[in-house]
Structures are given as C-alpha cells and as structure tokens.
Structure 1
Amino acid sequence: MTMSHRAGTLGRPMAEPPDRESGGRRRSFLALLMSVILLAALGGGVYWGVGRIQEFFNAPDYTAVGTQTVTVEVKAGTITDTANTLYDGGVVKSAKAYIEAAEDDPRSTNVQPGFYKLVKQMPAKEALARLLDPERNRVVNRVTVTEGEMTLDIYAKLAKALDIPVKDFVEAGGKPRDLGVADWWFKRDDGKRSATTVEGFLFPATYEFAPDVTAKEALSQMVEKFNEVTTELTFADTVQTTLNISPYEALIAASIAQAEVSRTEDFDKVTRVIYNRAYKGGFPCACLGMDTTVNYYLRLTGAGGARSEHLTQAQIHDPDNPYNTHDKAGLPLGPIGNPGRDTLRAAMTPAKGPWTYFVTIDKSGTTAFATTLDEHARNIRTACRNGIPLC
C-alpha cells in the first residue's frame, strides 16, 4: 500500500511551534527598555538608576525630618544639579521631589553655592527652606586677607580659622609650584636670584573654605585667585612689553609700594620712584634705600619688626640680609608681602615722572614726592612740623 508523507517529516521531528507568550514578553521588555532609554535621552541623561527612572512617574518624598546630620556641598548649577546633589547625599527621597518644591518656590533660584549642614531624610520643601537660610545652615570658614599682609601673618590667620597647624601652611607654602605658581614667575631680567617662595602670590581677598580643606588646598585657592586677577589685568604681558622687566620684578615693586604708602592715589608714583631708583640710576648705588624691606627680613627671621626711627644701623646695613636695600643695588630677593589689585595695576602702569624721593608729611597719610635731595629735605621739615617722627 502506498503511503503519503508530508514534506519535512521524514527522518526528523517536526519543529516546535513558536512560544507566542515568551516572544511577546521579550518584545514588551524591549519596548519598555527603549522607552526608558528614550526618556533618559530626552532628560539630558540626568536621571539614572531604578530610583531615578521611577521619578518620571512619581516623586517619592519624606514626610518627617530625620535625625542624622550631614554636610552637603551645593555647587553652582541648575535646580536639577542641586536636586541630584541632595539625593546623592541622602537628604531627599527623590530628586524630582526637590525639583517640584523648587519649581513651586520662586526663591529657589537664590540658593547660594557652598556647604550646608542638613539632615538625612528630609521633606524636599524643608531641605529647600534650609538652603534658603544660609545664615543658619551654611557652613562657612571665611577668612579675609588684607592687602600687604606677609605670608607668616596669613598662615597664622588661616591656622586659627581652619584649625590647621601653622607648620602645615609653612610646609605647603615652601613649594609654590605645587600650589599653582608657574615656573616662569621666578625668572628675572635683572640678573638677581629669586626667593622662589609663595610670598606675593597669596592674593588679598575674602575666602570661603570647605570644612575639610587642607593647608595646601587653601593656599592653592589663594594662588588661583592671584592667577585669575593677574590674567585679567594682563599683568605679565604688560610689564614685559611696556616696562621691559620681568613680571616677578614688577610683583616685588608692587609689594614694596603696598608697604610704603596707604593711599591708592600714591601707588603709581611710589612705584615710579622704585623703578627710577632701581633702573634709572637716580639714587646712590641704584639702591632702593627702604626700611620696609629690612623690616620684612627681621620679621621673616623672627627678630621682629620696628618703626624706621627705631631700626639700628646694624639692622639697616646688615650685609647678610638679602632684603637690605640700603647697600645692595636693585630690587630685593622677592616680594615683601602680598599686594592687591591697585598696587599690581600701579606696578604695570606707573606714573610718569623723575621722582626719586617720597615721604609721608602728615598723619592723614599725604605723601610728598621730590626729585632732588633739597626738595626732599623741605618735605621732611614739613613732616616734622606736622608731628611725623622723622626729625
């Protein structure tokens, strides 16, 4: 009897029919996955992880304030950046809860960058309220450095404010290149060697430091400000192009001008006197003849400083003092303090004039300038009549 066989069945088993249910599940999963990827892309890639993916559909929030305090750094950025920071720090239950709270409160754009003492597990509105009250909740280590302060005074000030040993600042300050001072700063055109210290590079300003800042980080922040200001002023390029001196020499001049006079309007003239004495041969031996440089070295070496009328001849003419500008020609070894913006600008663009002398002639700080010794002597007599202890 002849038997018929369907094609494909002879010699091998028939293939199993496809599992429609499992295939459907795979397609559903792939569709969901693609939706999540698409949503993440549309959101700029901000939300990642299961917790944040869920935030597209709801905004989990805490209903009560927890008990564990936490310090969180809020950086400059968008509301979403702040939301993510709080979420990562365990402060809010979801980033979206904070975003919604911020969108409901127009003051949210006033949140300032900084470190805040908050609590883990807080309602988003409460977290926002605390960020908007920086006087109570912001953790601030604020230190103000004034124009002309020398490094030793700055180290003492920082050590007290940040609870860091002074020796840590001394050690960090001894390596200025590691703090961000470029190597070219220490090159001079006058043939003299440089101090290669951080003196002069700690820009005077008010700083806010992180609670866990190190000595090196604090000094680096100040050097960064110095670099920012001098770049803005085009300090290095200007002094090299218009004065034909190195930036380091101009920095030294700025620091001396900062120490010599107190009134901003006198900085450019005093700087001109410094340049005239050091480079123009307008003073005996091309020496600066300034007591402020002598005093700097006395303080630097622990001998203490003194008013000019109290300095001894041995101190003024000490041959071992690299900051002795009474007997040694030109500018001293390095800056004698940390100059501010006005003196840096004056060192870049000194006043034009032949002056080689100056003296404070009254107790309000008025400075008189002179070209000859006779003119200077008359100014000194005026100062003495006004009660300045020079005679």
Structure 2
Amino acid sequence: MKSFTYNALPARVIFGSDTLPQIAQEIKNLGCTKALVLTTPQQIPEGELVLKLIGPELGAGIYSEATMHTPTDITEKAVARAQELKADCVISVGGGSTTGLGKAIALRTGLKQIAVPTTYAGSEASATPIIGETSGSVKKTQKTMKVLPNVIVYDVKLSLTLPPRMTLTSGVNAVAHAVEALYSTDSNPIIDGLALQGITAIARALPQIMHSPPDSESLFSARSDALFGAWACGTCLGAVGMSLHHKICHTLGGTFNLPHADTHTVILPHAMAYNAPYAKETMKQIVSALKDAGLAAESAPGAVWDLVKSLDGPMSLRELGMREEDLDKAADIASGNPYPNPAPLERDKLKKLLQDAWNGIRPE
C-alpha cells in the first residue's frame, strides 16, 4: 500500500427518493430562516416546487437566471437579489449552471448553501469545494472551502424526466471526474474506490436509462444508480486535483462558449488516449470497471468513445460549433500554463488531440 493523504470534505448528503420535503428541516438545521431558490429559466417549475415545500415562512423567492459557465455579471445580479430579499441561504435546484451560481454567491457573501442536483454532473459538481467562473472570455477555477455546499439533497425522482442527451452527457461528465482522479498526483485508495464505483454505476446505468420503458422499475433503478455514480464521481473531483481533460474543457467552454457537458463527452476519450501511455495501470482499472458494468472493453479510451456513439451522443467538436481555425488558439491556451498531468504537455500533441476531437476520430 502506497503512502497517501486524504482530506474528507464536511458535507451532509441526503440520498433517496422523495427527499425534497426534508429541505425545510435542513434550512432550520443550518440556523437559517430565509432561502433564495436558484434555477435556470428552464427549471423554474422545479424551483417553484421547492419554494412551495419550504413554505412562505422559509422561502424568500426565486432567482431564475442561472446560466452556463457562471458569468460574473449574472452572479452580481443574484447577489443583489439575495441582499434585497434578506436571504440567509440559497437553494440551488438544477445542474452545473445553478450549482455554480450558488457557489459564486457563497464565495461573495458567505451565505450557506443547499444543493439539489437534477443532472449527473454539472459545471461544478455539487459535492466539491471547486468553482469555475467566467469573466469576459476567460474561465478560471479555484478551490476553496467557502463554496462547499453545506447540504446536498439527491432525490431520484427529480432525474426521471432528464432528457436523453443531457442524461448521457452529464453522466460522461461525471465519469471524467473519476477518470482524472485515478491518475491524479494526489490520488489515494479511498477516492480510487469511489472513482471505480462511480464509473461502473454510470456506465451500467446509461444504456439501461436509454432503453428502459418510461415509468418502469428498471428505469427507476438505473436512474438511482446514475445518481449515486454522480455523487461518487463528484466527490472525487472535490478531493483530488484534476488534469488535462478538465483544463481543455474549461478552455473550450470559457473561451469558445461550447456547452459544458457535451464538451466533456467529446473530449474525454481523447484526453484518456493522450495520457494512456503514462497511466497504464489506471487504464486497466477503468477497463475492469467498464467490464463490471457489462460493457465490452479492451481499450479504456475506445470503450468510452464506443459507449457514447452507441447511445447517439455528441462525437465531435465540429458538431458542437467549434471552428477548426480556433483549434490552434485552444492548443495555445491549454499548453500555456503548467499543471499536473501524467503525460508531458506538448503543444503539437495537444493540437492533434483537439484535431482528432474536432473530426470525431475514434481513439485507440
């Protein structure tokens, strides 16, 4: 057993079905009295449901302008709204856009947070002290305990109507956290175990979700597996450092405004292939986890690519709207600042990675 250091994150997690009614008590447990509910414009109904459950005595109102990549101008408007309503906590209902906004508000105000995820992995996984914000065309991330949610409430029922494409891309987004945790410079056996559980749970669940009849018991079971996998993978993201894959995705999202989860889905197998020669043991572990999920897997990068293709997911940066002439700029940014990664960061090789991802070529 190798030596390691592990810092556990002090977050309260509530997982199950029909857990939403517990939020009112969780607000009181935090010593709070007025909660501002955060959503995107598309998820106002879910926010209104939460507001109804906590009642007028605990609900301050809704701010529904959360958006992708957590732009700082949106955050400033949300902070002003929270102060106007005298809110003493926020409830983030949704995916990464909403969770990121809740974290950004907490960073500036110190307000306590309750996160209610409705996807499997957003811009900032709920169970992490990591926040990424975009100002202008630059997205920057930081790690600080100021943004770690105090409570995370997972309710499987909220994920039952998640659209198929978002189901797939947010699930692969979650898998990316686990993959990079396994070859992180500060990896440890506790997080390695969670990472492999998360990969297996999501890889097993995604095909079942796509192929199960609506309202079936098998669909509910698969949704439960996927949501557990999302938590496991998100915990990995918060506990150890990330590498090349996340750097590229933040570059493509912040600078070129590509959709976050879709970008993760396209880039992951290519980033894995780039690192594979320098992370052979990790790739063997991933292959084993994918086989445990019932997938045919010989090469870890190829198996992830095959899974996405078999479920009609996005396969290229080109289809996400990336211009081929911008690949050089993306390679420059991704190689511009050193960061830990198994394989050496070489600008020409990074350009090839991006070119392959733009073309949608299957990695070996």
Q: Indicate the TM-score class for this superposition, using the shorter chain for normalisation.
A: under 0.3
- Ranked by relative contact order (alpha carbons within 8 Å, sequence separation 6 or more), the top structure is 2
Normalising by structure 2, report the TM-score.
Answer: 0.25
Higher helix proportion (structure 1 or 2): 2
Normalising by structure 1, report the TM-score.
Answer: 0.23
Larger Rg belongs to: 1
